[in-house]
Amino acid sequence: MGLDSKGILSANWFTSHLLSFLLIPFFLEVPDHLRSTAVQEYTSFYIIQISTFANQSWARNQGSGWLDELQTHGWESEAGKIIFLRPWSKGNFSNEELTHLSLLFHVYLIGLTREIQDYDSQLQFEYPFEFQMRAGCELRSRDTIEGFFQVAFQGSDFLSFQNMSWVPAPETEGRAQRACNLLNQYEGIKETMHKLIGNTCPQFLLGLLDAGKMYLQRQVKPEAWLSSSPILGSDQLVLACHVSGYYPKPIWVMWMRGEQEQSDTQQGDILPSVDGTWYVRAILHVAAEEAAGLSCRVRHSSLGDQDIVLYWGHHFPMNLIPLAVIAPLVLLMVLALWVKKHCSYQSIP
Ligand SMILES: *[C@@H]1O[C@H](CO)[C@@H](O)[C@H](O)[C@H]1NC(C)=O
Ligand SMILES: *[C@@H]1O[C@H](CO)[C@@H](O)[C@H](O)[C@H]1NC(C)=O
Ligand SMILES: *[C@@H]1O[C@H](CO)[C@@H](O)[C@H](O)[C@H]1NC(C)=O
């Protein structure tokens, strides 16, 4: 990759110096105490990089670090510094190792930006354009952790790093192949990538799971409520069971009639909340007259075996509301008539 024009950091430094830091034992066993909840819930750590090129002289790199869907790191592009978003975001790495990694990313980003700008016409990149990269590692089974490095160009798969070399994504035109040919000339960088995703990343992932386990293994109970809406032009209702504010993510939400699971229940996507908890909704289409007797059952690790059960009809269904309003009115009228009759009777001399 390109050199910093100020000559502060050389490609030589990039490859040799960093490699010595990255030379760590290759085989990695997942420690027993990590083969627990946290490991099952969280299985990957990766870095997302978005590089935007507006023109020959303007480029921007954004970076972030993720434990599956949980963002743990940010990137301060100007200073070239990692932002630690959680108290446990350093995992078990020392400040020295992390400074080293920050420097590596900084040099990599400067080099990459320069390289892309230098080869823009040769590779037929037309401004403005954007690269997205996702690199990291994933726990596959009890003992295997696999690294990955994928690159997208303008939102489509472009190339990836596999088996020590860069390969174009299927169905890409010659441009991806030319980019791979170019990248594959840099043996040092391939070595570095291989060690970063196959070695440093797994160690970091395991350290992170360990350091964050109090947070990652916490249990937060859900709140649940029901709602309904009529389907226009039919006598059908959509019943919705909302479950929010819970953690961890796995949950079971089902509409029931007595002990009978309603297999038509449709569970929506599980959505994140800003406070790090989750929200999900389960809906059921029913004929209005069949809604009575239905209930929503929620099972979640934070509840132990005390499932939440909400019965439909314990609040007023829509079609009973008129009755609820009319009944007191009728009572009032009866009372008024009775009073009138009673009074007129009494008023007879
Ligand atoms: C390059 O793009 C940036 C950001 O859009 C813009 O501010 C700048 O004027 C552009 N420069 C040239 C030479 O077009
Ligand atoms: C990886 O590359 C080596 C050497 O080029 C080759 O022998 C091996 O079969 C490759 N493995 C895969 C899974 O492609
Ligand atoms: C961090 O923890 C992992 C997993 O327990 C371990 O393999 C690795 O050596 C540790 N790294 C450091 C720098 O202590």
Chain segment 276-314, per-residue pLDDT in tens: 899 999 999 999 999 999 999 999 999 999 999 999 986
Ligand at shortest distance from the CA of 190:
2
Ligand 3 atom 1, closest CA: 207
Q: By the 8 A CB rule, do 297 and 309 touch?
A: yes
Whole-angstrom distance, CA of residue 244 vs CA of residue 236: 26
Task: List the structure tokens of 203.
Answer: 């160690």
Region 104-129: what's the mean pLDDT?
Answer: 90
pLDDT recorded at residue 332: 74
CA distances from 215 to 5, 42, 92, 126 (A): 44, 12, 15, 45
Ligand 3, from 26, 33, 92, 100: best to mutate by most atoms within 8 Å of Cβ?
92
pLDDT recorded at residue 51: 94
For residue 17, pLDDT beyond 70: no
207 close to ligand 3 (CB < 6 Angstrom): yes
Q: How much distance in Å is there from the Cα of 203 to the middle of ligand 3?
A: 5
Q: By the 8 A CB rule, do 41 and 247 touch?
A: no
177 close to ligand 3 (CB < 6 Angstrom): no
Q: Quick one: pLDDT band at residue 325, thresholds 50, 70, 90?
A: low
Q: Quick one: pLDDT band at residue 29, thresholds 50, 70, 90?
A: low
For residue 97, pLDDT beyond 80: yes
Considering only residues 116 and 282, tell me which one the structure prediction assigns the higher pLDDT.
282
Ligand 1 atom 14, closest CA: 55
pLDDT recorded at residue 12: 39
pLDDT recorded at residue 86: 95
Considering only residues 40 and 281, tell me which one the structure prediction assigns the higher pLDDT.
281
Whole-angstrom distance, CA of residue 27 vs CA of residue 208: 18
Ligand 3, from 22, 201, 203, 210: best to mutate by most atoms within 8 Å of Cβ?
203
pLDDT recorded at residue 31: 58
Q: How much distance in Å is there from the Cα of 14 to the middle of ligand 1?
A: 30
Residue linked to tokens 């105490």: 33
Averaged pLDDT of the chain? 83
For residue 340, pLDDT beyond 90: no
| Per-residue pLDDT tens digits for 146-178 | 889 999 999 999 999 988 899 999 988 888 999
For residue 195, pLDDT beyond 70: yes
pLDDT recorded at residue 324: 59
For residue 320, pLDDT beyond 80: no
317 close to ligand 3 (CB < 6 Angstrom): no
pLDDT recorded at residue 342: 67
* Amino acid at site 167: V
